[in-house]
Amino acid sequence: MSTTALEPIAHHGTVVEHDGHHGGLIPIAPERQLQFNRLGMWLFIISETFLFAGILIMRLVLGRNEEGFTRPELSQSLGLLITSILLASSFFVNRAEVAIKHNDRFQFNLSTFLAIALGVIFVGGVVYEWNEALNHFKPDGHIEGGLFFFMTGVHALHVLTGVIFLLIVFANGIRGHYSAKSHWGVESCALYWHFVDVVWVFFYVALYLIGTVPETVAH
Amino acid sequence: MEHETHSGKGKAAEYLQGIIVLVVLAVFTAIEYAIGTADDLPLFSSTLIPLTLIAVVKAGVIINYYMHISHMWNPEDEADEGHAE
């Protein structure tokens, strides 16, 4: 059977490390390998955190005038809707992870599918918001517009990556590749998806809620 | 048989925890929306502080309950959840 990067190869004790004294290889215990996998994933998440924190600081520094923080004029109801959709998708990803931990394959496949659907709807909502926003301001028109398109664009790309990640996990799940004892692919995908959700928690506040719409931006 | 019963209870509890976390996040999001769209805030001159505080709490809830950050330094927790290797 062929293996892919997301298949649970790390749990069978097949991974080895070098023995410094004899140049040979010694096996790594599966539990330890899982800890290494998690450490690597969290280090990746931390590195991504620096990127998004930088963007967030940029928004707070640039998106203000002498009266205080400014923001582009956006549809508040649409912002709330897509935020709720992303939170719901995180719920289903968590549900999928719990399901596979208990070998509940039907719930795992169903929850993963719903998470993918909600992720796609979220991206669709962002694209719709872009179309609406373009009627009022351009990315290069003023700083609020530039920040809005940049922040939502970078985040939407990460959501798209997460959707692809979820699709791979879903396909593997349909083929029965995961089990209660071996599902690192599901866990890493869930970690990534929840991280993207955490980023949006801050981006939603920064883009939609903080500050006022300056008169030069209001239409 | 005993293991199956224990596992079934664990699954139900974990599903329930996921629902509770979702409800908590929804409530905080509604509060954020109310603060962000309010014309006048009685306690704060700027919405930055209360909204940032709520966002930090929401992120903490997701990181703790959905991302299980404690598994990094306390993998024994998983054994209790039926996730041991």
C-alpha A188/C-alpha A34 separation (Å) is 11
Does residue A100 surpass a pLDDT of 70?
Answer: yes
- The token pair at A103 is 């070998």
Does residue A11 surpass a pLDDT of 50?
Answer: no
Picking from B18, B26, B62, the nearest residue to A95 by CB comes out as B18
Average pLDDT over residues A36-43: 94
Quick one: what percent of chain B has pLDDT higher than 70? 69
Provide the phi-psi class of A17: left if phi over 0, else alpha when psi is between -120 and 50, else beta.
beta
For chain A, what is the total number of helices (H) and then of strands (E)?
5, 4
Picking from B32, B58, B83, the nearest residue to A101 by CB comes out as B83
CB A137 within 8 A of CB A76: no
- pTM of the predicted protein model: 0.85
**What's the pLDDT tens digit per position in B11-62?**
899 999 999 999 999 999 999 999 998 876 666 667 889 999 999 999 999 9
For chain B, what is the total number of helices (H) and then of strands (E)?
3, 0
- The pLDDT of residue A68 is 82
- The pLDDT of residue B85 is 40
- The pLDDT of residue A9 is 46
What are the CA-CA distances from residue A115 to residues A2, A202, B43 (Å)? 27, 21, 38
Query: Within 13 Å, how many C-alpha atoms sit on residue A48's CB side?
Result: 19
Handedness of CA A171, A177, A181, A183 (dihedral sign): negative
Q: Does A204 sit within 8 Å of B18, measured CB to CB?
A: no
Give the DSSP H/E element, type plus range, for residue A18: strand A16-18
CB B29 within 8 A of CB A84: yes
Non-local (6+) Cβ contacts of A59 within 8 A are A147, A151, A206, A207
C-alpha A191/C-alpha A155 separation (Å) is 16
- The pLDDT of residue B74 is 75
Quick one: what percent of chain A has pLDDT higher than 90? 65
CB A146 within 8 A of CB A140: yes
From the centroid of its chain, how far is CA B52?
17
Which residues of chain B have a Cβ shorter than 8 Å from any chain A Cβ?
7, 10-11, 14-15, 18-19, 21-22, 25-26, 29, 32-33, 35-37, 46-48, 51-52, 54-55, 58-59, 62-63, 65-67, 69, 71-72, 75, 81-85
